[in-house]
Chain A
Amino acid sequence: MRKILKRVLLIDDNEADNFIHKIFIQKHGGVEETVAVTSGQKALDYLSSNQTGSYPRPELIFLDINMPRMNGWEFLEEYKKLDDEQKGGVVVVMLTTSLNPDDKKMADGDGNVTEFMNKPLNIEKFQSVLEKYFPDRLD
């Protein structure tokens, strides 16, 4: 399959979730590289790492909210402070259960959040995200 996205970042403390999400994205086949990290701090480290003269800048980030120490919201606070050239593209917030009103309010005030999605991610959900945010690359 033709590669639609170059890089996708998964941020989730749950190793099992990361593993299965990775399997689905790989099965989907539209992504060149899928990187999974287990904490917000590791994600920030990854995003600001400069290995080959440029930053990773994943076009799509899946962010788990319910994480110990630095949760998804706290990660977003730090994410905002990154340079624009370090930031990725679309940020999809992953929720364990349905969205509660407080979280929704919090996300509405955050310009970096573009989408909400309930766990777990599967091939169909991933396809719909691509169709919504990257329609021009799909033809």
Chain B
Amino acid sequence: MTKKTLDRAAKINLLVSLVLVLLLAIILETLIRERRTDAAVINLSGRQRMLSQKIAKGIYTTSLGLTSIQEIKNDAETWTLVHDGLIYGNDSLGLPSLTDQDLLSLFKQVEPFKKGLLRVVAQINETTQITPSMLNEVERNEQAFLSLMDEIVFQAEENYNRSIFNLRLWTLVLSILVIVSLVVLYFNLVKPIIRELSRAEGSLMRSRQSLEFFVKHTPAAVAMFDLKMDYLFASDRWYVDYGLEGRSIIGKNHYDIFPEINEIPEWKEIHQRILKGETYKTDRDRFDRADGKVDWLKYELLPWRDDNGEIGGMIMFTEVITQQVEMQLELERKARELEKTNEELKHFIYIASHDLQEPLRTTLSYSDLLLNEEFNSDEQVKQQSLRFIGESVGRMSTLVKGLLDYSLIGSDNNFEQVDCQLLAKEVFNALEQKDRIDVSIEVENLPVVSGSKLELTQLFHNLIVNSIKFVRPNVPCLIQISAERTNGYWIFTFSDNGIGIEEQYFKQIFKVFQRLHSKDRVEGSGIGLALSKKIVEHHGGEIWVESELNKGTTFYFTLVG
């Protein structure tokens, strides 16, 4: 049924009901007025009866001087007035003219006896003697009048009863009609409205169900929340992506399901902004999970509104892009590594062209000198030349060996558990036996770390050798090695009491062949610290230095425990 037909049916029904109620009112009004007339007739007829008796009694007793003639005449006048009123109607008495035929014929029959009684009243005056014939006349007329008046009252009462019955009947009929009209109204109007409403509700339910079905099976992690951030529903993918399979989350709070979000106040703030009507979108955001795992998310947050346009909560469309981001990060790391390798390569070329060329050029210069007759006669020049050639070749050999060592770092990926305490002692003992050095060493509780034993040996060797090399004149060399655990790393401390390094060289010393001292002062390839740096980096750590001139130097490096 359409809204229009419903509207028309309702209007017709209401109109019918209105007419019926009006009709009922009119009929009831008419019947009640009629009944009032009957009541007046009954009442006045009774009073006429009594008045006729009073007139008769007045006439009987007038001769005895008990009643004045004037009083009788007044009564008779009233009696006549009311009598005529009963027949022809009288406004002041509230009487309509009589229409009832039965009553009219009764009033006709009463007429001669009324006149007979009035004739007697007319005959009497102050001087008139009441005769027996007159009394007889009064008696006869009055008796007839009384009995006819009884009949009239009886007839009026009958009329009255009949009109009460009619009233009841009409009331009943009209009430039934009103009830019928109301029933029709119910079936015509209320029933269809209810049917329409339930149909609308059904279709709403169906559309809600299909929406839920759609969301449930959408191949994305989607969830809908109310204003309190309680779950209204979530897609299957949501459960899978966030490891919630088998858990019931609907009706529960988002922050209870993911307590780790309490550690991300920015997110909660964004949620509050969404619930105030904003939207938010990001292509990459980090999510530190409670189990320590790191997830990467791409997501969009939107408020949803109810039928009244009020915000009812939030919808989250999310995508876990951890794998993608990890690959990207790995790629970026590889790119950085490559860049570093390139940088190293460039440095290598520089080294090859400068540092390696230098001893070569020296060798060449001196061999030329030796071949030159102008110079080779001088025994001192000859001796020096041969010394410099020997030194240059030796230096070249050291450089080439250093470069080889350097290039090999990073190739040993056979990590094992290495006891650094033991390692430090072994390295030191080997050096002590070989070079008979005058050095004291203090090694304190070094940990066992995972790494390449070969490379870590080289690292300890280089750092100890470095300290021994840069001793202060006349100060016995003391090396202290310790380690401390911080943030999942071991920080190693390698201190000596040597000559120290100026702050401006703290970075430079870790570059290949960067030497701070002339070759005439300290021997070395200039590659030891660069090697150390590369070893530490290969183990995922960092190396740095702190130093004070003429006090000592401390190398720090980190290793994963």
Contact = CB atoms under 8 A, between A and B. Distances in A.
B520 interface: yes
A20 B362 CA distance: 9
Q: Is the interface of B mostly helix, strand, loop or mixed?
A: helix
Determine which residue in A27, A66, A69 has the highest number of CB atoms from chain B within 10 A of its CB, and name it: A69
Interface stretch (B71-79, B384-392, B481-489): B384-392
Interface residues of A, number: 19
Interface string A110-126: 00000000011000000
A96 B354 contact: yes
A48 interface: no
Contacts of A19: 384, 388
Interface in B354-395: 354, 357-358, 361-362, 365-366, 369, 374-375, 381, 384, 388, 391-392
Interface in A10-58: 13-17, 19-20, 23, 27, 38-39
A30 B519 CA distance: 30
Nearest to B388: A16
B514 A16 contact: no
Given A16-B392, A20-B366, A96 B516 contact: no
Contacts of B375: 23, 27
Nearest to A68: B515
Given A20-B369, A38-B520, A39-B518, A14 B362 contact: yes
B365 A120 contact: yes
Interface in A45-84: 66-69
B131 interface: no
A14 B505 CA distance: 21
Contact of B517 (A16, A20, A68): A68
B514 A17 contact: no
Contacts of B517: 68-69
A13 to B, nearest CB: 4
B354 A15 contact: no
B361 A23 contact: no
B70 interface: no
A27 B515 CA distance: 33
B128 to A, nearest CB: 171
A120 B518 CA distance: 19
Nearest to A12: B518
B361 A119 contact: yes
A69 B381 contact: no
Contacts, number: 56
A15 B381 contact: no
A78 to B, nearest CB: 14
A13 B388 CA distance: 14
A67 B264 CA distance: 54
Interface residues of B, number: 25
Nearest to A123: B374
B353 interface: yes
B519 A13 contact: yes
A68 B515 CA distance: 5
A38 B515 CA distance: 14
B357 A15 contact: no
Determine which residue in B354, B361, B515 has the highest number of CB atoms from chain A within 10 A of its CB, and name it: B361
A39 B514 CA distance: 15
Determine which residue in B358, B391, B516 has the highest number of CB atoms from chain A within 10 A of its CB, and name it: B358
A128 B170 CA distance: 149
Nearest to A74: B504
Contacts of B358: 14, 66, 96
B354 A97 contact: yes
B390 to A, nearest CB: 11
Nearest to A17: B362
A13 B518 contact: yes
Determine which residue in A14, A17, A27, A66 has the highest number of CB atoms from chain B within 10 A of its CB, and name it: A14
Contacts of A67: 518
Given A16-B388, A23-B369, A97-B357, A38 B518 contact: yes
Determine which residue in A16, A19, A20, A96 has the highest number of CB atoms from chain B within 10 A of its CB, and name it: A16
Nearest to A15: B520
Contacts of B520: 13, 15, 38
A15 B384 CA distance: 11
Nearest to A119: B361
A45 to B, nearest CB: 14
A119 B358 CA distance: 10
A16 B362 contact: yes
Contact of B357 (A20, A23, A27, A96): A96
A-B pairs with the 9 shortest C-beta distances? A16-B388, A68-B515, A13-B518, A16-B362, A69-B516, A38-B518, A120-B365, A68-B516, A20-B365
Given A16-B392, A38-B520, A69-B517, 9 more contacts: A15-B519, A16-B366, A17-B365, A19-B388, A20-B388, A66-B354, A67-B518, A68-B526, A97-B354
Interface of B: 353-354, 357-358, 361-362, 365-366, 369, 374-375, 381, 384, 388, 391-392, 505, 514-520, 526
28 contacts: A14-B358, A14-B519, A15-B520, A16-B362, A16-B388, A16-B391, A16-B392, A17-B362, A19-B384, A20-B365, A20-B388, A23-B369, A23-B375, A23-B381, A27-B374, A38-B518, A39-B518, A66-B358, A67-B518, A68-B515, A68-B518, A68-B526, A69-B517, A96-B354, A96-B358, A96-B361, A120-B361, A120-B365
